Structure 1
C-alpha cells in the first residue's frame, strides 16, 4: 500500500457488524469497489515482482478481469489487457521488460512520459499545485499519510486509488449519504477527470508490452462506466 494509517480513526478493523440483507448488499458492493481500486493502485505503485508476474501469466488475474468484462462498456478494454497478459510469455525477459516499460511510463521526465500526477493534468502542468494540496488535505483529514517507502507526492495516481480503496472500505462500514456524495465528487472531479488523458499519453509511448497502456485505458474506462 502507498498510504498507511497515521491516526486512530475509531473505525472497526475486523468483521462487519450484523447487517440486514439490503445493508449487506451495499457493504459487499463497496468492499468489491475497494478490492478493485486497491488492485489498480498496487499495479501502478511499482513494477511487478517475479512472483506476481508469474501468477498473472498463469491466469490469477482472470477473476478480477472477468468481473470487469461483465460491464459492457469495459469488455473491449478488458480483452486488451488480457491479450497483453497472454503476450507476456513471448517476451525474452518479461519481468525486466515490464520494469523498463514501467520506468518509461511512470518514472521518466514528465516532458517525455505520461507522468502519473493529477497536478500535471489539472493544474496546467504545475506539480505540487492545488490538486496536490487538496489530496494532501484529504489524506490528513482521513488520518492517512504517504508510506515512507513510497517516495511520491500525494497526487500520484496510486496514492489516489489507495485512498479511494480505503474510503470504500469505510463506506462498507458506514455508508452515509454525505460520505457517498463526497466520494462520488472526488472520483468525478479529482480522478476520472484526468485519467483518460493519462491513458492517451501512455498509448503514444513505445513499450515492449501493451500491458501498462491497456491497463491505464481500462482504469480510465472503469471510472466512466
Structure 2
C-alpha cells in the first residue's frame, strides 16, 4: 500500500516522540539527534501550525545538551530526576496516574488496543506509558486506521492527561530538554487532533 507523504510524516513524528520519551537517550541516539539530517528534520517541524516557537526552544536546548562534556550521562540524570522519581519529586509518564482513570483500568484498555494492533508493550514497560501510547498512535497512523479511531484514541487516551503531564513537567523544570520535548509533543498532538 502506498502511504501519502502526510501519513508518513505523522507516523514518523509520533514515533520520534515515542523514542525520545521511552528511556534515557544513548550516546549513539544523541549523536543521531545532532546530525545535520536530524537537525533539519526537527527544524521542519516548525512548519506545523503552532509549533514554531516550541521547535526553536527545543533546538536551543538540544544544542546545549550536545555541547555538554558528559552529555549522555547528564541527560540520563535529567531523565531520571524528571520521570523515574515518584511524584511529587518526579513526574509520572503513566496515564493511569492521572485523575481521568486508574492504572489498572488504563492498562487494561491499552493492552486491548495493543492486542488489536498485534503489538506488545516494549521491554516490559507498562502499557499506559506515554511512549507506548505514542508508538500505538504511530502504528494507527501508518496502518491508516479510520480517522474516527485515531481521533478517539487521541482524545480518550492521550489528550485527557497529556496536558496535566506537561504542566507537571513545566513545574519541575521549565527549560529542560525533556520538558521542552513534552511541550512540543502536547502541542503537536493538539494540532494533529484538530487536523483529524
Q: Please report the TM-score for the alignment, with normalisation by the length of structure 1.
A: 0.78
1:182 alignment partner in structure 2: 149
Cα distance change of structure 1 residues 92 and 205 upon mapping to structure 2, 3 Å threshold: farther
Unmatched tracts of structure 1, length 5 or more: 1-15, 18-23
State the alpha-carbon separation in 2 of the partners of residues 113 and 60 from structure 1.
Answer: 33
CA contact (8 A) 1:199 1:220 kept: yes
Q: Which has the higher contact order (CA 8 A, sep 6+)?
A: 1
Cα distance change of structure 1 residues 51 and 206 upon mapping to structure 2, 3 Å threshold: same
State the alpha-carbon separation in 2 of the partners of residues 134 and 49 from structure 1.
Answer: 31
Shift of residue 73, structure 1, vs aligned partner: 0.5
1:106 alignment partner in structure 2: 83
Cα distance change of structure 1 residues 132 and 36 upon mapping to structure 2, 3 Å threshold: same
2:180 alignment partner in structure 1: 214
Aligned length: 191
Shift of residue 183, structure 1, vs aligned partner: 1.1
Shift of residue 117, structure 1, vs aligned partner: 0.7
2:131 alignment partner in structure 1: 158
Shift of residue 193, structure 1, vs aligned partner: 2.3
Query: Residues 172-217 of structure 1: CA distance to partner in whole angstroms, max 9, x if unpaired?
Result: xxx6xxx22111111122112221211111122249x721010000
Which structure has more helix as a fraction of its residues? Answer: 2
Match of 2:143 among 161, 170, 183: 170
Q: Which portions of structure 1, spanning 4 or more consecutive aligned residues, are displaced by more than 4 angstroms?
A: none
Unmatched tracts of structure 2, length 5 or more: 192-196
Shift of residue 96, structure 1, vs aligned partner: 0.6
RMSD between aligned alpha carbons?
Answer: 2.0
State the alpha-carbon separation in 1 of the partners of residues 66 and 11 from structure 2.
Answer: 30
CA contact (8 A) 1:57 1:88 kept: no
State the alpha-carbon separation in 2 of the partners of residues 139 and 122 from structure 1.
Answer: 22
2:10 alignment partner in structure 1: 33
State the alpha-carbon separation in 2 of the partners of residues 188 and 48 from structure 1.
Answer: 28
CA contact (8 A) 2:173 2:179 kept: no
State the alpha-carbon separation in 2 of the partners of residues 188 and 203 from structure 1.
Answer: 22
1:127 alignment partner in structure 2: 103
Shift of residue 53, structure 1, vs aligned partner: 0.9
